[in-house]
Structure 1
Amino acid sequence: MIETTADLATACEQLARGPYMTVDTEFLRETTFWPQLCLIQMAGPDIAVIVDPLAKDIDLAPFFALMANPDVIKVFHAARQDIEIIYNLGNLIPHPIFDTQVAAMVCGFGDSVSYDQLVSRIKGVQIDKSSRFTDWSRRPLSEKQLDYALADVTHLRDVYLHLKDQLEREGRSLWLSDEMAVLEATETYDLHPDDAWQRLKMRLKKPQELAVLQKVAAWREREARARNVPRGRIIKDDGLYEIAQQQPKDAEALSRLRTIPKGWERSSSGAAIIEAVNAALDIPKNEMPRVPRQQQSPEGAAAASELLKVLLKLIAEKQGVAAKIIANTDDLERIASEGDKADVGALKGWRRELFGDTALKLINGEVALRFVDRKIEAVEI
Structure 2
Amino acid sequence: MISEKEELLEWRKRAAAQPKGRVVLDLEADSLHRYQEKICLIQYADETGSCLIDPLAIEDMSPFYNWLRDTEVWMHGADYDMCLFQRAWETLPAMIWDTQTAARLLGFRQFGLAALVEHFHGVTLSKSSQKADWARRPLSPTMVTYALNDVNYMLDMADKLMTALREKGRVGWFEEICRHSMERARERYLTGHPDPWRIQGSGKLNRKGLAALRELWAWRDSEAKSWDRPSFMVCSNADLIQWSVALQEQRPVSPSPRFHAHRRNRFTDAVQKFYLLDEDDYPCRPHIQRRQHSEQFEANLARLCKIRDEKAEELDIEGSFLITRASLEAIAEDKEKGMATLLNWQKEALGL
TM above 0.5 = yes
* Paired position in structure 2 for 1:325: 321
* Paired position in structure 1 for 2:284: 288
Does the C-alpha gap of structure 1 residues 13 and 203 become closer, same or farther in structure 2, counting only changes over 3 Å?
Answer: same
- One-letter code aligned to 1:153: V
Taking the TM superposition and a 5 Å limit, the aligned residue runs for 1:247-326 are: 247=247, 256-258=252-254, 267-275=265-273, 278-279=276-277, 281-283=279-281, 288-292=284-288, 294-299=290-295, 308-326=304-322
- One-letter code aligned to 1:27: A
Determine if contact 1:193/1:218 at 8 Å carries over to the other structure: no
* Paired position in structure 1 for 2:51: 49
Taking the TM superposition and a 5 Å limit, the aligned residue runs for 1:26-65 are: 26-55=28-57, 59-65=60-66
* Paired position in structure 1 for 2:15: 15
Determine if contact 2:205/2:245 at 8 Å carries over to the other structure: no
Alignment partners' CA distance in 2, 1:98 and 1:4:
29
TM-score, normalised relative to structure 1: 0.74
Alignment partners' CA distance in 2, 1:58 and 1:264:
36
1:124 equivalent among 105, 110, 121 = 121
Does the C-alpha gap of structure 1 residues 144 and 226 become closer, same or farther in structure 2, counting only changes over 3 Å?
Answer: closer
Does the C-alpha gap of structure 1 residues 311 and 238 become closer, same or farther in structure 2, counting only changes over 3 Å?
Answer: same
Alignment partners' CA distance in 2, 1:156 and 1:162:
10
Identity score, percent: 24
Does the C-alpha gap of structure 1 residues 25 and 93 become closer, same or farther in structure 2, counting only changes over 3 Å?
Answer: same
Alignment partners' CA distance in 2, 1:187 and 1:227:
31
Does the C-alpha gap of structure 1 residues 187 and 208 become closer, same or farther in structure 2, counting only changes over 3 Å?
Answer: farther
* Paired position in structure 2 for 1:343: 338
Does the C-alpha gap of structure 1 residues 198 and 168 become closer, same or farther in structure 2, counting only changes over 3 Å?
Answer: farther
Determine if contact 1:164/1:173 at 8 Å carries over to the other structure: no
Does the C-alpha gap of structure 1 residues 355 and 207 become closer, same or farther in structure 2, counting only changes over 3 Å?
Answer: farther
Does the C-alpha gap of structure 1 residues 290 and 149 become closer, same or farther in structure 2, counting only changes over 3 Å?
Answer: closer
Alignment partners' CA distance in 2, 1:198 and 1:299:
34
* Paired position in structure 2 for 1:157: 155
Task: Provide, for residues 238-297 of structure 1, a one-character-per-residue CA deviation record: whole Å limited to 9, x for no partner.
Answer: 34324544548xxxx89x21565586796234424543564473338xx83444354444
Taking the TM superposition and a 5 Å limit, the aligned residue runs for 1:88-237 are: 88-110=87-109, 113-121=111-119, 123-129=120-126, 131-133=128-130, 135=132, 136-141=134-139, 143=141, 145-168=143-166, 170-184=169-183, 185-189=185-189, 192=192, 194-204=194-204, 206-214=206-214, 216-217=216-217, 220-221=220-221, 224-225=224-225, 227-237=227-237
Alignment partners' CA distance in 1, 2:141 and 2:284:
58
- One-letter code aligned to 2:11: A
Instruction: Identify the structure with bigger relative contact order (alpha carbons < 8 Å, sequence gap 6+).
Output: 2
Q: Which runs of 5+ in 1 are unaligned?
A: 358-381
Secondary structure in 2 matching 1:35 = coil
Does the C-alpha gap of structure 1 residues 331 and 224 become closer, same or farther in structure 2, counting only changes over 3 Å?
Answer: farther
* Paired position in structure 2 for 1:79: 78
- One-letter code aligned to 2:7: D
- One-letter code aligned to 2:324: N
Determine if contact 1:208/1:288 at 8 Å carries over to the other structure: no
- One-letter code aligned to 1:87: Q
Determine if contact 1:15/1:43 at 8 Å carries over to the other structure: no
Secondary structure in 2 matching 1:288 = coil
* Paired position in structure 1 for 2:67: 66
* Paired position in structure 1 for 2:3: 3
Alignment partners' CA distance in 2, 1:39 and 1:95:
20
TM-score, normalised relative to structure 2: 0.79
Q: Which runs of 5+ in 2 are unaligned?
A: none
Aligned residue pairs: how many? 345
Alignment partners' CA distance in 2, 1:133 and 1:293:
42
- One-letter code aligned to 1:318: E
- One-letter code aligned to 2:346: R
Secondary structure in 1 matching 2:181 = helix
Determine if contact 1:106/1:321 at 8 Å carries over to the other structure: yes
Does the C-alpha gap of structure 1 residues 293 and 205 become closer, same or farther in structure 2, counting only changes over 3 Å?
Answer: farther
Does the C-alpha gap of structure 1 residues 320 and 161 become closer, same or farther in structure 2, counting only changes over 3 Å?
Answer: same
Alignment partners' CA distance in 2, 1:236 and 1:161:
42
* Paired position in structure 1 for 2:348: 353
Does the C-alpha gap of structure 1 residues 193 and 335 become closer, same or farther in structure 2, counting only changes over 3 Å?
Answer: closer
Alignment partners' CA distance in 1, 2:245 and 2:79:
34
- One-letter code aligned to 2:145: D
Instruction: Report the CA distance between 1:80 and its aligned residue.
Output: 2.0
Alignment partners' CA distance in 1, 2:126 and 2:53:
21
Taking the TM superposition and a 5 Å limit, the aligned residue runs for 1:353-372 are: 353-355=348-350, 357=352
Secondary structure in 2 matching 1:157 = helix
Instruction: Report the CA distance between 1:314 and its aligned residue.
Output: 2.5
- One-letter code aligned to 1:197: W
